[in-house]
Amino acid sequence: MGQPSFSDCERMRSVISASLDGEVSEVEQATAHGHLAECGDCRAYAASLAETARMLQATPLEEVSFPIVLPSHRLRLARTMQLGAAAAAVVATVFFGVTVGTSPNEGGLSSLSASAGNGPAAYLQSPEYELRMLQRASVPVVSAHAHYAR
């Protein structure tokens, strides 16, 4: 008939494993026996698996001298949420630190565009320009409505 394919052997090995625990139907068990008659590799696997299962079943149970406590679902959920919040805080801090920067001389996007000399951010860095802006802001502006009110 030929050599069974790898996927057939893979599927049969899971059936053989489940059959040791009595978890397969009679049809699956008959199919596995038919496959074992043709495939030497799977026969060796089944023998090894049967020996391992026999040894595990023959091993006496060990008494544990301390209690084993698993964390509750609520505790795991709370820890997961804490971890997520901490990760989000780190990402936000890094993002805002990179995009805003702490000062024009320390980095960030504003100093990058100013150093490139393009756009309005370059002249906003100039002390002379800032002084002129402050002087203009301190001069009172007479609006057109005030002129008509006289």
Query: 89 in a domain, yes or no?
Result: yes
Query: What is the span of the domain harbouring residue 96?
Result: 73-138
Q: Tell me the CA distances in angstroms from 52 to 15, 44, 58, 100, one per residue in order.
A: 16, 12, 10, 62
If you average pLDDT over residues 96-115, what whole number do you get? 56
Helices of type H across 21-72: 26-38, 40-58
Query: 23 in a domain, yes or no?
Result: yes
Q: Give yes or no: residues 83 and 33 share one domain.
A: no
Residue 67 in 3-state DSSP?
coil
Query: 66 in a domain, yes or no?
Result: no
Q: Give yes or no: residues 54 and 80 share one domain.
A: no
Question: Most confidently modeled of 42-51, 103-112, 139-148?
Answer: 42-51
Q: Is the pLDDT of residue 106 over 70?
A: no
**What global pTM score does this model have?**
0.40
Query: 144 in a domain, yes or no?
Result: no
Q: Give yes or no: residues 12 and 53 share one domain.
A: yes
